[in-house]
Amino acid sequence: MKRFLGLCLAAMLALAFLDAAALISGPATAGAPACHTGIAAPAASNTGKATEAATIESGAMAGFKVFTSGTGTALVSSASSPPTTCAAFLHTTTDSGSVAKMTFALAGPAAEVSAAGWFNITAEGTAGSNVPYFRFFAGDARILDVFRQNVSHELVLRVASPKSFLYTTLLPAVPQGTWHHLVMRVLPNGSKTGVQIWWDGRSIYASNKVGITATSADMVQLGSEHDQQTGDIYVDDVIISGSAAPGPIPGTFPAPAPDSSKVPGAVSPPGS
């Protein structure tokens, strides 16, 4: 009987130790992500001089330049994905110097840049700021971007026109904590720049009269552009490509269409 009681006590202590370790370790992160390295990268939707396609299932953000400072973190996590799936996690706080971003530089200046990816914004920042999705750059200058505005939760296109920033509300609200698929095509051409945007498989914006100063683009950024741009963002299945031969705007949806079954939760339709 004493031996039996001793074994029970040992088992209870072991369970208590494991529970404590689980509390300390927290959600699955880059240290031990539940990734499946055998999952293929998403198929590129078009051809270009430079292309990056990543599922993040390798446990790394290969192909992207990752930058963090202060309390900002960028890592691979399975905390906001199905048990067999990993995503990049970008976390920025209100602390001074806090930045977390990942960028992809094209092989050279491109006349057309396409970017596609799945996004889940699980935390936002203060009023008057926003949480970014894709941001397009020509050199050091941001030419346009799409973001989720804090508090109002609008999906917004911002264009750096020659005189000022121009804002267009694309959707009235994007629910927090839900996965959505964003596809963008940008054809920099000064006052005749072409832009087309798809959200969850539906075209929500198309124009070939967007006015900017640039005639090419060479980098796409995800995450906080400056410090204290607070937000938590999960990103997966990112495809970025650049081409010297731009196509028409509007154009057909880049195949293949997104598979909403690959991400958790319901995908809200545009305008909901």
Q: pTM for the whole thing?
A: 0.80
Q: Which residue has the higher pLDDT, 112 or 37?
A: 112
Report DSSP state, residue 27: S
pLDDT digits (tens, 9 = 90+) for 159-173: 999 888 999 999 999
Model pLDDT, residue 60: 72
Find out whether 148 and 154 touch, Cβ atoms under 8 Å: yes
| Fold that domain 9-255 belongs to in CATH | Jelly Rolls (2.60.120)
Q: Which residue has the higher pLDDT, 154 or 85?
A: 154
Q: Which residue has the higher pLDDT, 46 or 85?
A: 85
Average pLDDT over residues 114-139: 93
Model pLDDT, residue 82: 63
Q: How confident is the model at residue 102 (pLDDT cuts 50, 70, 90)?
A: very high
Tracing tokens 């596609």 back to the chain, one arrives at 116
| pLDDT at position 113 over 50 | yes
The residues, any chain, with a CB within 8 Å of residue 269's CB and separated by 6 or more, are 200, 202
| pLDDT at position 261 over 80 | no
| pLDDT at position 85 over 70 | yes
